[in-house]
Structure 1
Amino acid sequence: MILKELFHFNDYLHKQILDGQTEINGLTFDSRFVRQGFIFFAFPGTNTDGHLFIADAVARGASVIVYSDPNISFPAHWRVSWIRVDDVRKTMAQAAARFYEHPSREMRLFGVTGTNGKTSTCFFLRNILEENGSACGLMTTPKNIIGPDIYEAINTTEESLQLQANLRMMLDKGIRQAVLEVSSHGLALGRVEGLFFDAAVFTNVVAEHLEFHKSFEHYFSSKKKLIEMVEQNNQKSYPRLAVINGDDENCRKIAAGSHLPLLTFGLKPDNDVTALEIEYFIDRTKMIIKTPWGKEAAQLFLPGYHMVYNALAAAATASYFGIAIEKIVQALQTTRHVPGRWEVVDAGQDFMVIVDFAHNWHGLENTLSFIKTVVPGKVITVFGCGGERDRNKRPMMGQTVARWSDVCIVTSDNPRHEDPRQTAEDAMHGIHQCKKEIPVVSQIILDRREAIAYAFSLARSGDVVFLAGKGPERYQVYHDKIIRHND
């Protein structure tokens, strides 16, 4: 593809284009991956600023630099085109869509967002779509699945270059539908700009990532962008749809005023898709799924109240697109593993060990309240609070864990550049508040491996050790070091 096909030059006031016919061989925002004929997009990131690597990108053969810093100047001897823009990420997303020839225009694209439950809902929905006989791609927090190929994901929602490349690979393999987990960061930072979504699924919306969004209003408006993107997608023949958790007030607010067809799911009887005669067990849930198109008995082997909601979200979406309730139930029953979500570890011990990604008060409330209800023995929870993340939620996490656990062991969870002792003490404030009302044992053990070992030493037959927060992650982040760790 040539340069002038990627950019409308008249849209940019500040530019130097040496040759609009320049052949573009690739796009990247990492100077280490620049090759001859590449476009390098420079923008500030979490840990560094891409503008610092412009010279390196030029030395490696970049043909074009897209940047935003007005203080950057280009030496006369650099034979490179450049474009200065206000929003590099948005420009990069638009260029990526053109470079990969707008793959989402040629496929049905489901976007799933919410505070908790996104990943499980994505796995449920993909399995239903595949059970119906059509291959389906998947892009989520733990992994991306493109036909037989499985790739680890870097972010919940990848940068636009990777998203568009993945969708193009899917099309090249004959895959014409995909389920995409869409984070608030992905929406706020424009990573999903240029994608044509056919359905927006909202699992729930509670305050989260306020260290990034600064306010719930910004978080809320970022989430709402997904439904707006579906509304703006009028270039495809697929039906469009919004699916929301009808039991969640914020989800209802997000959908208010939308002209899209709307389906609600939840446990209240006024929802379009709901569950009846629910029976909860520690290893499964039995229920009847009721939709406007029929009802069917089902079993989920990923247990818990929250998993019922996730399954209903997927069932509602699939039902609207014409998939029979029998196939929906079959797919839900065969979904027995979502990486890092309710992963039971059985090494022959006489107590239960569960590894789960629950990493905020809402997720901890959902999982621990369920465990406490169905387990006869003690609940021993190991958890930590992420460093350099919203400090205000740490006492809430501690209070939630204490409310539903017999033993709380506070440890580290990606401290980053923050003192892990501080993150633990913040959580302990919430635990101490709960101790005023109910008896609970608590301790800080900052070494996560030692904390887990101590939890095991306390456990007896019939108890549950719940390892919260890390899920499928295989590392701990201390300062600038990544240390291998897997719960």
Structure 2
Amino acid sequence: MRLEQLLKGLEFRLLRGEDNTEIRDIKYDSRRVEKGDAFICIRGEKDEGSRYIPQAFKRGAAAVVLEKGCPMGELPEKITAVEVESARRAMALMSAEYFGHPAGRLKLIGITGTKGKTTTAYILRNILMKSGKKTGLMGTVEIIAGDEAFSSVNTTPESYDIHRYLKKMADKGCAYAVMEVSSQGIKMERTGGMNFDYGVFTNLSPDHIGPGEHSSFREYAECKRKFFRSCATGVFNADDERSGFVSGGSSCGKVFFSLKGKGDINGEDIRLFTDGGALAAEFDLRGLAEFRARINMPGTFSVYNSLGAAGVCILEGVDEEHIKEGLETAEVRGRSEMIPVPGCLGAVIDYAHNEVSVRSILKTLREYGPERIIAVFGCGGNRPAMRREAMGEAVGELADLSIVTCDNPRFEALEEINRDIIRGLRKKGADYRQIDDRREAIEYAVAHAGAGDLIAVLGKGHENYMEIQGKRQIFSDKETLERIAESGGNLSES
């Protein structure tokens, strides 16, 4: 494909060379460049990105796409260089062109919000699949294209990868694609140029604010608001206090869901219950459709996620029975996932890794009336210290026994991370233990849990690794608990 075709629809300035240069592929990582590729030089948080250009050309790049103001440096004579206003925007539009605009072959559904994106995405996909509509998925846990599954790096992949996966979905016969759309994905133009048939707003609370993320809560909220300008129809949580702000920034069609009778779709008469070790909820759906439904996930927040997913499916004309079946059979790895454990009510694995999500899951578990909640948790390294102290306060307030442990310390000393957490725990006068080895921490929780207790293992969810000093070591909360369960709770055998 010629460079001029890839640049179609983009304003650009040819700095040198020919815009009819033949391009083999597009690369945004100089280490992966091959002969004939176009290298997109993306400006980072700490550098211009231009220092990677020599490596790209050494590996055979035929062209470079630079952001305005980015120094080009000395290039070989036969190299083509193009300047654009935004390299990230250019990559998004060029990738769509390169892969033949696969988004146009699918109905696109994007889900954004602070909490609930992953669960809502899985519920929505499950309903569509139950109704016979083949649906791809892109999000935090994995990417599913037909019968293939791929591991995820980011909640919302880079734009090149988005279009690569969308093409796989379309080629595999998918009619729909459900995507988690993160604020970082919006800010970094990963979804640039894409038009969504539906967007779902789950909720909004302060998060992802700090170096390398968002400069302020206002910027974070603006990214959520901006997303709906690319949606034909938005499905919004009317009960969130910032719903009006998020929904007010676009001319898309608007449908609201609520547990307080404020929506076009409402959840009423909620009953939380346990069934065969599962923590479940059932509710009446009222408004655009009317029936009673069940979700085998805990708490009222699962009902909110169900309403957002069901709302899209109702608008798409999915019948009541398939919506009910899709809700009841939906499962999400590492999101309120119940693992039977001998000697107690069970253990819940959840990805909750900030104050808001931790408060949400622990309050939800409390609604089921356990005698005690034993929480096993840590905090990731190279993240703001205030976030850790807030996590400690939240767990200290809502759990009966807190076990502080390791959770992806990255390049930071574990003792410093846990010191910040413990500061928050002590503020609440919490009963806590510090057990740095996560496997031992989980074993301690099981050994000290009584028949009426619930264990909450928080922070890692679906992850199957522990990141320490730039290396990922194999570790899974779920596998650890399953080994304990298989041994009948005999920890010496697990």
Question: Same fold, TM exceeding 0.5?
Answer: yes
Q: Deviations over 1:386-441 (max 9, x none)?
A: 22223333222212111221111122222223332222222222222222xxxx31
Higher mean C-alpha deviation, range 199-208 or range 455-464: 455-464
CA distance in 2 between partners of 1:207 and 1:20 (Å): 45
Residue in 2 aligned with 1:391? 385
Letter in 1 for 2:475: H
Q: Deviations over 1:20-78 (max 9, x none)?
A: 33322211112232222211112245798753332222222211112336333123x45
Query: Does the residue aligned with 1:162 lie in a helix, a strand or coil?
Result: helix
CA distance in 1 between partners of 2:280 and 2:457 (Å): 21
- Confirm or deny: 8 A CA contact 2:43 2:49 kept in the other structure: yes
Alignment of 1:456 onto 2:446: yes
Distance apart, 1:107 and its partner CA: 2.0
- Confirm or deny: 8 A CA contact 2:285 2:293 kept in the other structure: no
1:266 paired residue among 254, 258, 261: 258
CA distance in 2 between partners of 1:86 and 1:387 (Å): 34
Residue in 1 aligned with 2:243? 251
Residue in 2 aligned with 1:181? 180
Alignment of 1:471 onto 2:465: no
1:290-439 to structure 2, matched below 5 A, reads 290-335=285-330, 337-346=331-340, 348=342, 350-435=344-429
* Structure 1 portions without partners, runs of 5+: 231-239
Residue in 2 aligned with 1:122? 121
Distance apart, 1:291 and its partner CA: 3.6
Distance apart, 1:378 and its partner CA: 1.8
Distance apart, 1:456 and its partner CA: 2.3
Letter in 2 for 1:314: A
CA distance in 2 between partners of 1:349 and 1:46 (Å): 50
Distance apart, 1:90 and its partner CA: 1.4
Query: Does the residue aligned with 1:101 lie in a helix, a strand or coil?
Result: coil
**CA RMSD across the alignment:** 2.1
Residue in 2 aligned with 1:106? 105
Q: Deviations over 1:70-92 (max 9, x none)?
A: 333123x4532122334221111
CA distance in 2 between partners of 1:10 and 1:46 (Å): 24
CA distance in 1 between partners of 2:288 and 2:134 (Å): 24
- Confirm or deny: 8 A CA contact 2:298 2:365 kept in the other structure: no
CA distance in 2 between partners of 1:48 and 1:451 (Å): 40
CA distance in 1 between partners of 2:47 and 2:340 (Å): 42
Residue in 1 aligned with 2:158? 159
- Confirm or deny: 8 A CA contact 1:352 1:462 kept in the other structure: no
- Confirm or deny: 8 A CA contact 2:279 2:338 kept in the other structure: no
Could you say if the C-alpha distance between residues 285 and 30 of structure 1 is closer, same or farther in structure 2, counting changes exceeding 3 Å? same
* Structure 2 portions without partners, runs of 5+: 478-494
- Confirm or deny: 8 A CA contact 1:30 1:50 kept in the other structure: no
Residue in 2 aligned with 1:233? none
- Confirm or deny: 8 A CA contact 1:143 1:152 kept in the other structure: yes
Residue in 2 aligned with 1:6? 6
CA distance in 2 between partners of 1:88 and 1:28 (Å): 12
Residue in 1 aligned with 2:489? none
Letter in 2 for 1:304: G
1:87-98 to structure 2, matched below 5 A, reads 87-98=86-97
Q: Deviations over 1:270-319 (max 9, x none)?
A: 22212222111242434333243331121111122211110111011111
- Confirm or deny: 8 A CA contact 1:375 1:463 kept in the other structure: no
- Confirm or deny: 8 A CA contact 1:275 1:287 kept in the other structure: no
Distance apart, 1:368 and its partner CA: 0.7
Letter in 2 for 1:456: V
Residue in 2 aligned with 1:441? 431
Residue in 1 aligned with 2:72? 72
Residue in 1 aligned with 2:51? 52
Letter in 1 for 2:140: T
CA distance in 2 between partners of 1:459 and 1:32 (Å): 50
Higher mean C-alpha deviation, range 370-379 or range 360-369: 370-379
Distance apart, 1:469 and its partner CA: 0.7
Higher mean C-alpha deviation, range 31-40 or range 219-228: 31-40
- Confirm or deny: 8 A CA contact 2:146 2:172 kept in the other structure: yes
1:14-53 to structure 2, matched below 5 A, reads 15-17=15-17, 19-45=18-44, 50-53=49-52
Residue in 2 aligned with 1:481? 471
CA distance in 2 between partners of 1:383 and 1:100 (Å): 42
Could you say if the C-alpha distance between residues 47 and 424 of structure 1 is closer, same or farther in structure 2, counting changes exceeding 3 Å? farther
